[in-house]
Amino acid sequence: MALVTGGSRGIGAAAAHALAVDGWSVALTFRTGEREAAEVVAAIEAAGGRAVALRADVTDPAQASAALDDAREALGGPVLGLVNNAGVRDDDLAVSLDDERWQRVIDTNLTAAFRLVRDALRPMIRARFGRVVNIASVVGPRANAGQANYAAAKAGLIGMTKTVAVEVARRGVTVNAVAPGFVRTALTADLPDEVVDGVPARRAGTPGEVAACVRFLASDDAGYVTGSTLYVDGGLSA
């Protein structure tokens, strides 16, 4: 069974669908989007899959831990797939970025992901099988003015991915990151179309294209891929 955080829309919803197609039962979490999450569950079930939606603000340790327990209870069996997808932006130039906005992005995009990885690992190690996929970004490895908080969180996520990967590699557990470039979702709704001018592919990516990479990294076929970051960015970071 797999847990996808922020599965109510965008990349998380597409990842939940893709994993369900591969036979995973999927617990998807949402913070505010209850109706959207229910629609994702309904679509997965209509396609013959199994899914449940759970409300959990991942920045609250008690809610995040409860999501793992609730997923286990609702779908049976331990969480052997974890997709840390929930993420936020709160952009400003560093000279204006206050502590609260710095911390909110670090808490959501990095600290919450670490906690879930830590708490999910034990059952994976026991099962001698586990798949962790952290949704990072080209921003972090690459600069983007106005996103010091986001870049720090995503670069941190990639660093955490590599180190945890080597800690558990002997146990049949893989830990990887997927780094999207520019994908049209609610998160990027305010960005102008001209953003694609800087993308070698000259178009935005789709949530489905990111989800396909998540699906591969969660599959049996990806058993020897660990500690990697798979860029899905139309050539932006090449």
Ligand X SMILES: NC(=O)c1ccc[n+]([C@@H]2O[C@H](COP(=O)([O-])OP(=O)(O)OC[C@H]3O[C@@H](n4cnc5c(N)ncnc54)[C@H](OP(=O)(O)O)[C@@H]3O)[C@@H](O)[C@H]2O)c1
Known catalytic residues are 150
Q: Which lies closer to ligand X via its Cβ, residue 166 or residue 195?
A: 195
Binding region for ligand X (CB under 6 A) out of 29-37, 69-77, 125-133, 218-226: 29-37
Report how far residue 125's alpha carbon sits from residue 143's, in angstroms, rounded to the nearest whole number.
Answer: 36
Q: How far is the CB of 63 from ligand X (least distance, A)?
A: 8
Positions of E strands within 116-170 = 130-135
Is residue 210 helix, strand or coil?
A: helix
CB of 155 to ligand X, least distance (A): 12
Which stretch in 41-49, 53-61, 161-169, 222-230 sits in contact with ligand X by CB under 6 A?
A: 53-61
| Residue ranges in 98-117 that form contacts with ligand X under rule CB under 6 A | 108
E strand or H helix that includes residue 81? strand 81-84
89-98 long-range contacts, Cβ below 8 Å, gap at least 24? 89/147, 89/150, 89/187, 90/149, 90/150, 91/146, 91/147, 91/150, 92/146, 93/145, 93/146, 94/148, 97/148, 97/149
Phi-psi region of 160 (alpha: psi -120 to 50; beta: other; left: phi over 0): alpha
Answer yes or no whether residue 206 interacts with ligand X by CB under 6 A. no
Residues 134-163 contacting ligand X, CB under 6 A? 135, 137
- The smaller minimum CB distance to ligand X, of residues 95 and 145, is found at 145
Q: Which of 85, 147, 161, 174 binds ligand X (CB under 6 A)?
A: 85
87 touches ligand X (CB under 6 A): yes
* Cα-based distances in Å from 14 to 57, 200, 208, 236: 20, 24, 6, 22
| Angle, alpha carbons 169-113-56 (nearest 5°) | 130
Q: Which one of 2, 4, 10, 226 is in contact with ligand X (CB under 6 A)?
A: 10
Residues 159-188 that bind ligand X (CB under 6 A): 180, 182-183, 185-188
Q: Which residues bind ligand X (CB under 6 A)?
A: 5-6, 8-12, 29-33, 57-59, 85-88, 108, 135, 137, 180, 182-183, 185-188
